[in-house]
Amino acid sequence: MTALDLSSPVAVVGTGTMGQGIAQVALVAGHPVRLYDTLPGRAGEAADAIGARLDRLVEKERLSDADRDAARARLLPAEDLPELADCALVVEAVLERLDVKQDLFRALEGIVADDCLLATNTSSLSVTAIGGALRNPGRFVGLHFFNPAPLLPLVEVVSGFATDVSSATRAYETARAWGKTPVACADTPGFIVNRIARPFYAEAFAVHEAQVADPATIDAVLRESGGFRMGAFELTDLIGQDVNESVTQSVWQSFFQDVRFTPSLAQRRLVESGRLGRKTGHGWYDHGEGAERPEPDTADKRQPPAYVVAEGDMGPASELLELIREAGIPVRDESDDDQGACLLLPSGGRLVLADGQTAVEYRDFVYFDLALDYRTAGRIALSASQDTSPQVLAEAIGLFQALGKRVSVIGDVPGMIVARTVARIIDLAHDAVAKGVATEEDIDTAMRLGVNYPLGPFEWSRRLGRSWAYVLLDDLHRRDPSGRYAPSLALYRHAHASDSREGTS
């Protein structure tokens, strides 16, 4: 099954920001496009707005005058649904209400030809449930674009329970012909991106609720150590706290209140107070005119240790040994399997990569967080207990400062910030593959393109090692037996499988 022919008209129902964006994508690709909205005059206004955006593309030399004029000639507002009768594809981008979408597609089914592909751009509703209202749900598919649709490349092509393979394939190939990067997935709550991205927000909020770090510090660690483009607090302020919480609530309810997707009470209070983020001038941060952005907690300058002793295999943090040597600090190598992998400091303290345990369990342990790349990371988070020797903590701070890093000291929280977030993302990704939601490749693509993650979950998994995420989450689960951190069966199997029998992600 191939993509729709460019001569085939495409209709977009709903002319808000997303509807206009989808229409522009189809139009620039070369299709005749029909715009329809239930509100009189809205389709014409949307056509004018799209025309203005085409003008800006010409000004930026991304579109020629001739192509702009041809596109405008192919764009037609429709006053009534029957004007969409000859369309080969109808994409809906209306109100996120099941009854509204079902009524629309019932009406369309009596108007368009039997081979017309029907698609919803829903981000939170079940594609299966919407299509269940149709006489022929086999031709119904989800085409989930990301906002702004003309700029963001990802499109989730969602197959409902009754969607024909041929319909999903045609939708997939059409999205690719439009210059997008499609990924195929089954109809599951949140699809790929909104399902697997939940821990990015949830774990940041949980660390904040535990009173061990403030939003500015957590965001800084996620950006400067984890390599994420934005932290969870600033990103949800941009998205809108109400919008982000609504997606979380939808996924949680759709999974029968699975504890792994539990919403944040702190975010609920933010929404209840009307502090929805940038659009209201206040969210986690104050966005009012002249408001100063709070600075992340950063440790004062400390002296580096005279030397460190490397014990065991540092695993994902092995690169630190080279950086320490380059900083002129001697590294002594010793093997001590009983103590595990750590850096022994002159004061007798141990510096350990976050592993899901807490510093209070051990004498003079200081944990350091996971980094995407320890060489390029601008900040490292450290975690210590109230019983940790001040001298040990000072040496740990001084060590990372000698490597050119800013240091944030947070409270004694298992898994810290980046490590627990990445581990949970990896776990949900393995669980999704095991349940047939999508392939490893499509999940990695979706998370990199849909939410700008520095690595896809399976890319992280291959880099960190087969058992890393499982061990960390298992340790976390022992300290928080609510089930939130219980590793999935899929991750258990992956962690215990030999590399000769499975892939190495």
Sheet with 10-13, edge to edge strand ranges = 75-78, 33-36, 10-13, 89-92, 117-120, 140-145, 154-159, 181-186
Q: How far apart are CA 444 and CA 122, in angstroms?
A: 21
Partners of 144 in beta bridges: 156
* 144 catalytically annotated: yes
Q: How far apart are CA 333 and CA 308, in angstroms?
A: 9
CA quadruple 469, 185, 254, 433: dihedral sign = negative
79: phi then psi, degrees, rounded to nearest 5: -90, -25
Q: What is the DSSP string of 241-295?
A: HHHHHHHHHHHHHHTTS-GGGPPPHHHHHHHHTT--BGGGTBSSSB-STTPPPPP
Report strand pairing: 365-368 vs 379-383.
Answer: antiparallel
Known catalytic membership, residue 498: no
Give yes or no: 167 in active site: no
Which one of the listed residues 31, 92, 126, 156 is annotated catalytic? 156
Q: Which among 87, 84, 144, 134 is positioned nearest to 115, based on CA atoms?
A: 87
CA angle 98, 102, 103 (to 5 degrees): 120
* Contact residues for 154 (Cβ-Cβ < 8 A; gap 6+): 145, 146, 180, 181, 182, 183, 193, 445, 446, 449, 450
Choosing from 194, 244, 250, 461, the catalytic residue is 194
**Closest by CA position to 392, among listed 357, 435, 363:** 363
Residue 282 neighbours by CB under 8 Å, 6+ apart: 275, 288
Q: Which ranges constitute the DSSP H helices of 273-368?
A: 319-326
Residue recorded with tokens 């342990």 = 365
Residue 158, H or E segment: strand 154-159
The catalytically annotated residue of 31, 144, 208, 430 is 144
CB atoms within 10 A of CB 193: 23
Per-residue tokens: 233: 């607090």
Q: Does the annotation mark 395 as catalytic?
A: no
Instruction: Dump the DSSP string for 108-147.
Output: HHTTS-TT-EEEE--SSS-HHHHHTTSS-GGGEEEEEE-S
Select which of 123, 250, 408, 488 is catalytic.
Answer: 123
Composition of the chain by helix, strand, coil, percent to 5? 45, 15, 40
What is the greatest pairwise CA distance in the chain? 80
Report, as residue numbers or ranges, the catalytic residues.
Answer: 123, 144, 156, 194
